[in-house]
Amino acid sequence: MAAIAAMIVAVFRNSVARFEVVDNSMRPALAPGDYLVAVRTATPRRGDIVVFPDRTQPNRDLVKRVIGLAGETITVKAGDIDIDGEPFTEPWADGPTLPNGQWHNPPNTIFVLGDNRSLSSGDSRVAGSVRVDEMYRVVYRYWPVSSVGRL
């Protein structure tokens, strides 16, 4: 029985994590001081908010929104986004998306951007695609009390 309990705890520990938002890159959806619960998932969806390791700074995580899925090509031109040649409208984006460019997502990766485009760093425009097995999907904000709820 103890072995089963230990296995359940180990699985839970590796599949659920807590994070604190420390910058403004996801405003207005998330703000510094927000505390989040996130889960591992193999099937991210467009629009999900995810947390993943910062490749440039060890022991630091980034929080961004999923824009592009595996196998898709994301094009930014004149501040707008196309996915596989089709215009993509984002209700959450704050500001134009710059710079112009084109990125292709390999298998098992996602393309992520911060909602506050002018203050978002470390997203896929700079760091490239994020591996799905490295990310957590944010499911709940538990602090501040005034903002508690599912995301």
| Residues tagged active-site | 25, 64
Calculated CA dihedral for residues 112, 28, 18, 148, nearest 10 degrees = -140
**Rounded to whole angstroms, how far apart are CA atoms 52 and 109?**
12
Closest alpha carbon to 51 in 2, 114, 1, 104: 114
Q: How far is CA 18 from the centre of its chain?
A: 14
Calculated CA dihedral for residues 74, 75, 80, 86, nearest 10 degrees = -70
Q: Are 148 and 142 in contact (CB under 8 A)?
A: yes
